[in-house]
Structure 1
Amino acid sequence: MGIFNFFKSQFIEVIEWTDQSSNTMVYRFPVQNNEIKMGASLIVRESQVAIFVNEGEIADVFMPGNHVLYTQNMPVLTKLKSWKTGFNSPFKAEVYFVNTKQFIDQKWGTSNPIMMRDPEFGMIRLRGYGIYSYKVADPVVFLKELFGTNASYDTSNIESHLKKMILSGLTDLFAESQIPALDLAMHYDELSTEGKAKMQERFAQFGFEITSLYIENLSLPKEVEQAMDKRTTMGVLGDMNTYTQYQAAEAIREAARNEGGGMAATGAGIGAGAAIGNAMAGAFNANQQQPASPAPVESAKIACPHCQSQIRATAKFCPECGKTVQQKTVPCVNCKAEIKEGSKFCGDCGAKQVTEKKCETCGAINGPAAKFCGDCGEGLEG
């Protein structure tokens, strides 16, 4: 009886797969050393396709539903096994469940800037990032081209390749569109639609269908954006001479309002009156400028790290306590300039002294010298 039960346990009567993850694309049913009983139940759930493989050759494909396995509904495998009609013995075959649901929230981003020619700014470097989603549209092509004989396959196995395909297509699309940099934001939807259509043929080569593609952001380098902000500010101010004269008049009026005592108040009043006269004269003679008197130069002072006395910044020893004021320095993580040990920021480049940088957009961890995120391409704060 024990031997009979042993042989009976080797026959698989129910074949099914319940996906416990969100990114598994293919799962091979564990039938090694087991035989499938003819008449067994095959349960294929929605968003799944079951494929039988016999000795490396794809045989029958089953769509969602509850299937009872027998020779009549397995024509290809029946032919490969040379079974006669009504054959009822157990058999061995590999069963692969292919997940046909959409794999959403797949990220793409420019690891390196895209060089473009802009009609207004000339040569520019463009960065961007976004998301896309896709699904397995042709399971047979997918198994032949990508999966092979692995036990399982998930989105991480193909993520890098798909991201590079998308970046290649979008780079070509952005360059061909010839849309000025300042007008890119108003064409996100059109560029996303055209990018999706451009990717369909490339994805189909692997049995995939790209179901959506979105551009979340296209940006210029920070230096260019800062120059654009300054240019905008100048446009808002208008005539710079008039603006400078207005600012001078406002400053003089505020100085004249400060109340003082004795000769100080008298001197302030005389000085304010003279300054107002000069400002009014400058308003009528815009081409004449009054040279500013040079401010007295004072040597920079620092606090002694030992006794806190104010000493010259260039001093090597404190004149009060006699101890050295030279502190241990370390190189900046960004520009390599020597800075005080324990400093949080570099005095030369302003870079934050950290061992790693976290992207605020996608959360990816980057190296301390990185200026742009390696996943989404967004600029990193120093």
Structure 2
Amino acid sequence: MMKGQKRTSSRGRSSNTSGEDNIISNGSKIAVNNGQCMMIVESGKVVDVCNEPGEYIYDMSTEPSIFTGGLEQGLRDMWGQMKERFTFGGDTGKDQRVYYFNMKELIGNKYGTPQEVPFKMKDPDTGQILLIRLRCFGEYSYHIVDPALFYTNVASNVADRSP
């Protein structure tokens, strides 16, 4: 799992050079590579998941608008949104992040005990106590099946990359 980063041109050609790191603007393009799953998390809640390769265009249609519903309710919602932005210095009060998950099988992970593990056992026939030394080692593979479940139960918010 890795946190997505805002992409800006090194030559200063990007139009959104002063944008915040944890705010996704409407119409932003988010690239999803083959074998990846992209997840958008807003204020700690998973709001969208995409695992098809290509470009994903972010749509903020959940924001209030005076054109949805009645005019009075639309104005009330817009005023509430403006008041919230004022308290956060003009930005939205939301924390939006993009996370990418590797959906490919990760093979060749090794495990084992660094030293022998002593284990005592009583022989049922003779009644003697036997000391057995065990050592284990091997390889395993794994892959993420449900990225939303992995995010909510294992990884949560990460600064850059999770192990």
Q: TM-score, normalised by structure 1?
A: 0.27
Task: Quote the Cα distance in structure 1 between the aligned partners of 2:41 and 2:64.
Answer: 15
1:134 corresponds in structure 2 to 142
Q: Does 1:107 align with 2:110?
A: yes
Residues 56 and 78 (structure 1 numbering): CA distance in 2 closer, same or farther, change over 3 Å?
A: farther
Identity of counterpart residues, as a percentage?
A: 27
**Counterpart for residue 72 of structure 2:** none
Amino acid at match of 1:95: V
Cα deviations by residue, 1:209-249 (Å, 9 ceiling, x for unpaired): xxxxxxxxxxxxxxxxxxxxxxxxxxxxxxxxxxxxxxxxx
* Helix, strand or coil at the partner of 1:115: strand
Q: Are 1:66 and 2:66 counterparts?
A: no
Q: What amino acid is aligned across from residue 49 of structure 1 in structure 2?
A: C
For structure 2, list consecutive stretches of 5 or more residues without a partner in the other structure.
7-18, 69-91, 125-129
Structure 1 residues 68, 137: closer, same or farther in 2, change over 3 A? closer
Q: CA RMSD in A?
A: 3.2
Residues 1-382 of structure 1: matches in 2 within 5 Å? 26-31=1-6, 33-34=20-21, 35-71=23-59, 78-79=61-62, 81-82=63-64, 93-111=96-114, 112-113=116-117, 115=119, 117=121, 122-155=130-163
Deviations 1:96-134 (A, max 9, x none): 111122222211112441526589xx5422212111111
Larger-gyration structure (1/2): 1
Larger RCO, structures 1/2 (Cα 8 Å, 6+ apart): 2
Amino acid at match of 2:110: K
User: CA contact under 8 A between 1:147 and 1:153: conserved in structure 2?
Assistant: no
Q: What is the distance in 1 between the residues matched to 2:108 and 2:151? A: 23
**Using a 3 Å threshold, how does the CA distance of structure 1 residues 70 and 143 change in structure 2: closer, same or farther?**
closer
Q: CA-to-partner distance for each residue in 1:6-41, whole Å, 9 max, x for gaps? A: xxxxxxxxxxxxxxxxxxxx1111247155443332
Distance 1:70 1:153 in 2: 23
What amino acid sits opposite 1:63 in the alignment? N
CA-CA distance at 1:68 after TM superposition: 4.0
- Please state which structure has a larger fraction of its residues in helix: 1
In structure 1, runs of 5+ residues without a counterpart are 1-25, 72-76, 86-90, 156-382
Identify the residue that residue 333 of structure 1 maps to in structure 2.
none
TM-score by length of 2: 0.57
In 1: Cα distance, 2:118 partner to 2:142 partner: 25
- SS of alignment partner, residue 46 of structure 2: strand
Deviation at 1:61, TM superposition (A): 0.4
